[in-house]
Amino acid sequence: MKKVIFTVTLIMMMAFSGLCFAADGNDLNKEQKVAETFMEVFTKDQIPAYDVVSKDFSDTLKTNVNEKAYKDLSKQIKERYGNVKEVKFYNFQRFDQGDRVTYVAAFDKEQAVAIMLAFDKDKKLTDYVFTPLQVEEASK
């Protein structure tokens, strides 16, 4: 009897904790989709149309990143960091006023670059930043 009660309790605890972890899942999925569409500006040879990407921009970001700036972004990223080799999801942070999704990318000229994308409460992209990370070589 004790084994049955223990097993049922364990299953209920695991189910409840799974629900708690999945609470932000829908928001993360939406923001990751926006982020991945935005990052196609430097991961694809043919960049998505500005209208497709900017539909998920906040009004402020649409003002700061117009169609010309959007098209120039691809050139700027390639000049500064080179061609992208790999992009991996790194972190999701939830704040009162919005969220932040972080990816780490490897480029030809930089081993690791953090790409942080900020979202408001309406899941609109409000800002982005590319930050080179220093990677220390392991001692031999």
* More confident call, 7 vs 53: 53
Residue-level pLDDT at 57: 94
Q: How far apart are CA 89 and CA 132, in angstroms?
A: 16
Residue-level pLDDT at 9: 72
> With 90 as the cut, is the pLDDT of residue 137 above it?
no
| Per-residue pLDDT tens over the stretch 17-70 | 655 555 567 888 899 999 999 998 888 888 888 999 999 999 999 999 999 999
Q: How far apart are CA 74 and CA 82, in angstroms?
A: 10
* More confident call, 29 vs 1: 29
Q: How far apart are CA 72 and CA 49, in angstroms?
A: 13
Residue-level pLDDT at 23: 52
**In angstroms, what CA-CA distances link 99 with 43, 72, 102?**
23, 26, 10
Residue-level pLDDT at 92: 92
Residue-level pLDDT at 7: 73
Percent of the chain scoring above 90 in pLDDT: 54
Average pLDDT, the chain: 85
Residue type at 74 in one-letter notation: S
In sequence order, what are the residues at sequence separation of 6 or more whose Cβ sits closer than 8 angstroms to the Cβ of residue 134? none
Least confident of 32-46, 83-97, 126-140: 126-140
Structure letter (DSSP) for residue 112: -
